[in-house]
Amino acid sequence: MKKEVGLYVHVPFCVKKCVYCDFASFAGREQDEEAYVDAVLREAEKRSGIEAVISTLFIGGGTPSVLPPALMDRLLSGIRQRFSFLPGAECSCECNPGTVTEEFLAVLRKRGVNRLSFGAQAAQPRLLSLLGRIHTWAQVRESVDMAKRAGFENINLDLMLGLPTQTLEDLRQTLDEALALSPAHLSCYGLIVEEETEMFRRVERGEWILPDEDTEREMYECCRETLFRRGFEQYEISNFSLPGFACRHNMDCWKRKEYIGLGSAACGFLDNIRYRNPPLLTDYLAGKPAEETVISPEEARFESMMLGLRMTKGISGRDFLAAHGVTIGEAYGRQLERPLRQGLIEWKDGCLRLTRRGMDVQNSVLVELL
Ligand code: SF4
């Protein structure tokens, strides 16, 4: 029987670079889009030799929705020709409000995409402009309406918290506006100020002040309480869904299942090897090979902990034993003592998981394990 793997396809093009973004994405490179799709399909051809069937597809970026519909059609049909998909495979595509068209959405539907993820971020014009986003909230609404008319039911909205000048009231309003669009899934990400971004420089210079830790914690609680009241379940630190709508692709990554990555900066994980394609577009287009790293047994165990602790259910003790041949206790018994005693982690239903308090200090729990 063929093994099931995920497939990630990176589309690195954006209309404009957002001020907080350190992803491998580029603005003003429209002239490379066609050559890029050809390069991805060449890579797909090369990687399609493995005995596997695709259980989930995720087209991320960048902004995949900036590709002209005909080019997205060529990309998706080329991928479908080269890989076999499980019936009912979850197929997601990231989109930015203001860039989707009916024609683009029709192409996604025709090629089996059944889940959309929109970068909505915040409902306030002042925050959208501060972030350097290209869209308004009215365009978020229009894009979601258009997606629903095109037949999409499984829709995610990405929201951000902890932004400079953002208040708890701003966040409440954003959650209300987002919920009014009836999404099946919401990702609520705390801002991480990455070095080498415009946001980092402005914060360093003191031009933008970030909310303090208490306010940020209150914002996170506000997301949890609001979404629980509206029937959402939290399945990962930042991710909430209506029952049955958790993102399978992400869940599989956190469970350390194998996946193929295609495109510049894309990562893959197959046969205990992690690979990363060149992050620069020019290097990828020039055919520079991926960097490969063989994962040692110790690294593999740590990866399972690091990824598994992100999920609210935690890491299944049984799955850990099956994957690594030792129990979590045998691998980490001593390092677990302190976080268990401090109430940062706990055992529940055969799984080791972060407690609510542990979620706030996830990094220090991982440092303890290292
Ligand atoms: S749209 Fe997304 S990938 Fe593109 S610059 Fe903004 S945050 Fe980065």
Segment 35-53 shows an average pLDDT of 96
Instruction: Answer whether 191 contacts ligand 1 (Cβ < 6 A).
Output: no
Q: Report yes or no: 359 and 237 within 8 Å, Cβ to Cβ.
A: yes
What local confidence, expressed as pLDDT, does residue 341 receive?
A: 94
Residue 370 in this model has a pLDDT that exceeds 80: no
Distance 50 CA to ligand 1 centre (A): 32
| Residue 361, pLDDT score | 84
Q: Mean pLDDT, to the nearest integer, of 73-81?
A: 98
The CA distance from 85 to 55, in Å, is 6
The string over 296-312, giving b where at least 16 C-beta atoms fall within 10 Å of a residue's C-beta and e elsewhere, is: eeeeebbebbbebbbbb
User: Mind listing the pLDDT tens digit for each residue in 144-191?
Assistant: 999 999 999 999 999 999 999 999 999 999 999 999 999 999 999 999
pLDDT for 367 equals 80
Question: 297-370: which CATH topology?
Answer: Arc Repressor Mutant, subunit A (1.10.10)
3-state class (DSSP) for residue 269:
strand
* pLDDT score at 364: 80
pLDDT score of 282 more than 80: yes
- Give yes or no for residue 6 CB within 6 A of ligand 1: no
Residue 75: which of 46, 43, 40, 47 has the closest Cα? 40
- Kind and range of the H or E run holding 312: none
pLDDT value of position 363: 79
Residue 369 confidence (pLDDT) above 80: no
Question: Which atom of ligand 1 is least distant from the CA of 20?
Answer: 7
Ligand 1 touching residue 189 (CB < 6 A): no
Q: How far apart are CA 118 and CA 281, in angstroms?
A: 24
**13 CB-near residues (< 8 Å, 6+ apart):** 25, 26, 27, 29, 30, 32, 33, 36, 61, 62, 63, 66, 67
Ligand 1 pocket mutation, candidates 11, 15, 19, 25, criterion most atoms within 8 A of CB: 25
More reliable by pLDDT, 178 or 364: 178
Share of the chain above pLDDT 90, in %: 93
For residue range 187-209, list pLDDT tens digits in order.
999 999 999 999 999 999 999 99
**Which of 10, 11, 13, 18 gets mutated to test ligand 1 (max ligand atoms within 8 A of its CB)?**
18
Mean pLDDT, the chain, whole residue set? 96
Nearest CA to ligand 1 atom 8: 21
pLDDT digits (tens, 9 = 90+) for 286-337: 999 999 999 999 999 999 999 999 999 999 999 999 999 999 999 998 899 9
Please give the model's pTM, rounded to 2 decimal places.
0.95
Annotated domain spans of the chain: 3-253, 297-370
The mean pLDDT of 114-141, rounded to a whole number, is 98
Three-point CA angle 241, 242, 248, nearest 5°: 55
Strands 115-121 and 315-316, sheet pairing: unpaired
Residues ≥6 apart with Cβ < 8 Å to 141: 181
At 368, is the pLDDT very low, low, confident or very high (cuts 50, 70, 90)? Answer: confident
CATH number for the 3-253 domain, one of 3.30.420.10, 3.80.30.20, 2.102.10.10, 3.20.20.70?
3.80.30.20
CA of 119 to the centre of ligand 1 (A): 9
Position 106 scores a pLDDT of 98
pLDDT of 88: 95
DSSP for residue 130: H
